[in-house]
Amino acid sequence: MLNKITVVGAGNVGATAAQRLAEQELARAVVLVDVIEGVPQGKALDQWESAPIEGFDTRVVGANDYGPAAGSELVVVTAGIARKPGMSRDDLVRTNADIVKQVSQEIKRHCPNAIVVLVSNPLDVMCWVTKQVTGFPRERVFGMAGVLDTARYRAFLAEALDVSVEDVQAMVLGGHGDTMVPLISYTTVSGVPVTQLLDRSTLDKIVERTRNGGAEIVAFLKTGSAYYAPSAAVVQMVAAIARDKKRVLPCAAWLEGEYGLSGIYCGVPCKLGRKGLEQILEVKLAAEEQAALKKSADAVKETMAAVKL
What are the residue boundaries of the structural domains of the chain, listed by start? 2-143, 146-304
Mean pLDDT of 156-185: 95
Bridging pattern class, strands 141-143 and 276-280: unpaired
Distance CA 64, CA 112 (A): 19
Please state which of the four CATH numbers 3.40.50.720, 1.10.579.10, 3.40.50.740, 3.30.1330.10 is assigned to the domain occupying 2-143: 3.40.50.720
Quick one: pLDDT at residue 84? Answer: 66
pLDDT band at 87 (very low <50, low <70, confident <90, very high): low
Q: Mean pLDDT lowest for which of 42-46, 152-156, 287-291?
A: 287-291
- Whole-prediction pTM: 0.96
Mean pLDDT of 119-126: 94
Does this chain's domain 2-143 share its CATH topology with 146-304? no
Quick one: pLDDT at residue 67? Answer: 98
Mean pLDDT of 200-225: 93
CATH topology (fold) of 146-304:
L-2-Hydroxyisocaproate Dehydrogenase; Chain A, domain 2 (3.90.110)
3-class SS of residue 43: helix
Distance CA 282, CA 15 (A): 34
Mean pLDDT of 131-150: 97
Provide the H-helix boundaries in 113-259.
123-134, 146-161, 200-211, 213-221, 228-242
Active site residue 176: yes
Task: Identify the active-site residue in 4, 43, 154, 176.
Answer: 176
Quick one: pLDDT at residue 178? Answer: 82
* Partner residues linked to 279 by β-bridges: 271
Mean pLDDT of 41-54: 98
Mean pLDDT of 199-206: 97
Please give the angle made by the CA atoms of 28, 131 and 253, to the nearest 5 degrees. Answer: 85
Count the Cβ atoms, other than its own, within 10 Å of residue 200. 9
